[in-house]
A and B are shown apart, each in its own frame.
Chain A
Amino acid sequence: EAQVTQNPRYLITVTGKKLTVTCSQNMNHEYMSWYRQDPGLGLRQIYYSMNVEVTDKGDVPEGYKVSRKEKRNFPLILESPSPNQTSLYFCASSTRANTDTQYFGPGTRLTVL
């Protein structure tokens, strides 16, 4: 089944404790991206990647890191999480670019205490 998977789905952590949210797609997509969803603000793009080893900042990259060492994986790293990063996070992928249909993962709900 074609899908985007994210892990974990739910995470409660404390300020400053490094964490990684994994994202994997099995559709051989080139474009992958991370969003955070906050009430009233819709989805805001954190980082995106046009292909392996090519990443770029979105609207709200501060406090986040990403890497794209393999085509299928695009982990989101929070080196020192803070409470303002409490949010719902979505990973998405598409065939080539942001102008193609995005396929979204199920979401990761992160709480930083």
Chain B
Amino acid sequence: AQSVTQPDIHITVSEGASLELRCNYSYGATPYLFWYVQSPGQGLQLLLKYFSGDTLVQGIKGFEAEFKRSQSSFNLRKPSVHWSDAAEYFCAVGEAGNMLTFGGGTRLMVKP
């Protein structure tokens, strides 16, 4: 069965600093990979997704993620964090025609 691990439950960064959120997955074939963001009291919104092709994927709000097959990772990055990026971030993996599995989430706090 597929699984997703987000090792960092909480991360605090200063505004303007760079950010990297980690995601590791367990799945036999090349999975469909997603990052979603959940602002307080809201539903989830897609940041970016990877299916195939270029392993560096650009998303909304200045986020990007890199798929590394050898490390089974799909880490999310942003070069300069804004206070409005404070939220919870979820990595997810999908197997064609089946379930969608989410990681436990990483809560990002941004210091002024």
The residue on A at minimum CB distance from B97 is: A97
Query: In this assembly, does A25 line the interface, its C-beta being within 8 Å of a C-beta of chain B?
Result: no
The residue on A at minimum CB distance from B51 is: A99
Interface size on A, residues (CB 8 A): 24
CB 8 Å contact bits of A84-110 with B (1 = contact, 0 = none): 000000101000011101101111000
> Which chain A positions have C-beta within 8 A of B42?
106-107
User: Known interface pairs A104-B45, A106-B42. Does A42 touch B105 (Cβ–Cβ under 8 Å)?
Assistant: yes
A44 and B102 within 8 A (CB): yes
B103 and A99 within 8 A (CB): no
B46 and A101 within 8 A (CB): yes
Query: In this assembly, does B99 line the interface, its C-beta being within 8 Å of a C-beta of chain A?
Result: yes
| A26: min CB distance to chain B, Å | 15
B96 and A99 within 8 A (CB): yes
Cα distance, A18 to B6, chains bound together (Å): 35
B contact residues, range = 20 to 34
Cβ-defined partner of B46 (8 Å) among A4, A90, A102, A105: A102
B95 and A105 within 8 A (CB): no
> Which chain B positions have C-beta within 8 A of A107?
42-43
Query: In this assembly, does B27 line the interface, its C-beta being within 8 Å of a C-beta of chain A?
Result: no
Q: Which has the most chain B C-beta neighbours within 10 Å: A42, A58, A59, A107?
A: A42
The residue on A at minimum CB distance from B45 is: A104
A98 and B9 within 8 A (CB): no
Query: In this assembly, does A74 line the interface, its C-beta being within 8 Å of a C-beta of chain B?
Result: no
User: Known interface pairs A90-B43, A105-B43. Does A40 touch B99 (Cβ–Cβ under 8 Å)?
Assistant: no
User: Known interface pairs A40-B9, A99-B32, A99-B51. Does A104 touch B44 (Cβ–Cβ under 8 Å)?
Assistant: yes
B-side interface residues toward A, CB under 8 Å?
A: 4, 6, 9, 32, 34, 36, 42-46, 49, 51, 90, 92, 94-105
A-side interface residues toward B, CB under 8 Å?
A: 4, 33, 35, 40-45, 48, 50, 58-59, 90, 92, 97-99, 101-102, 104-107
